[in-house]
Amino acid sequence: MRIGIFGGTFDPIHNAHCFVAESARLLEGLDRVLFVPTGNTHYRDKPQADAAHRCAMILGAIESNDAFELDDSDLRENATGYTADLLPRLHEKYPDAGFTFIIGADSLVSANWVRLDDVLESLERFVIAPRAGVRADALARVISVLPQHLRERVTTLNLPEFPESASLVRSLLTQGRSVRYLVPEPVWQYIVAHRLYGFHGDGVRA
């Protein structure tokens, strides 16, 4: 079995996340994609929504796709938030699977990755989704320091660059503006119902 690992804060999950996951599944021939929200962030601000809310939104977003699944391994008490520590635990959980890690270009460039060599040694593939504003030379610099046999596992997905981001969604919500159609409909309705991210606008259901 070939499994995609899509990690992040998902604060909140939005349509670009879902599109990237489905594209990676098809382009890389994956049997399943695991959405793995993290509770410990070492390179960005703490998530605004707590883990229970973020997991509920992920479940709502992916419920219509049988190939998508939520995995809470990186939310456990003993989770460190480092991918190098997460992957061995996932290998124990899915011993017969080969892993492909899915990541946005911005996360690869902006994060101070710890033990990236160890991460890549645990994977069959490491696939990068293009993001608007992330230069190709910045990506190349990160990848160039890797040994050749690990560089061969890294590829960029043939996708358009997406301007959508969770920070954009949160910013619009704090202004009382709708993010409907930027996020899956169940996520939008959940945000409205729970008044997340400071949203106090009119979220009338269709």
Q: What is the CATH number of the domain that holds 36?
A: 3.40.50.620
Phi, psi of 84 (to 5 degrees): -65, -25
Q: Does some domain include residue 141?
A: yes
Amino acid at 68: F
pLDDT for the residue 42: 63
Q: Does some domain include residue 112?
A: yes
Q: Does some domain include residue 110?
A: yes
Q: Does some domain include residue 99?
A: yes
Average pLDDT over residues 10-15: 96
Confidence of residue 173 (pLDDT cuts 50, 70, 90): very high
Average pLDDT over residues 147-154: 94
pLDDT for the residue 137: 84
Average pLDDT over residues 1-28: 96
Count the domains in the chain: 1
Confidence of residue 35 (pLDDT cuts 50, 70, 90): very high
pLDDT for the residue 133: 81
- The answer to whether residue 205 scores a pLDDT higher than 50 is no
Q: What is the CA radius of gyration of the chain?
A: 17
- The answer to whether residue 206 scores a pLDDT higher than 50 is no
CA geometry: angle at 65 spanning 63 and 68, to 5°? 85
Q: Does some domain include residue 45?
A: yes
Q: Report pLDDT digits (tens) over 39-53.
A: 876 666 789 999 999
Q: Does some domain include residue 66?
A: yes
Structure token digits, residue 10: 């998902």
pLDDT for the residue 69: 98
- Alpha carbon distance 165, 167 (integer Å): 5
Domain containing residue 58: 2-162
Average pLDDT over residues 187-197: 95
pLDDT for the residue 43: 61
C-beta separation of 12 from 57 below 8 A:
yes
Average pLDDT over residues 92-119: 90
- Residue with the bigger pLDDT between 46 and 174: it is 174
pLDDT for the residue 77: 87
- pTM: predicted TM-score of the whole model, two decimal places: 0.92
List, in order, residues 6 or more apart from 94 with CB less than 8 Å away: 1, 3
Q: Does some domain include residue 191?
A: no
Q: Does some domain include residue 50?
A: yes
What are the respective helix, strand and coil percentages of the chain, to the nearest 5?
Answer: 40, 15, 40
Average pLDDT over residues 24-46: 88
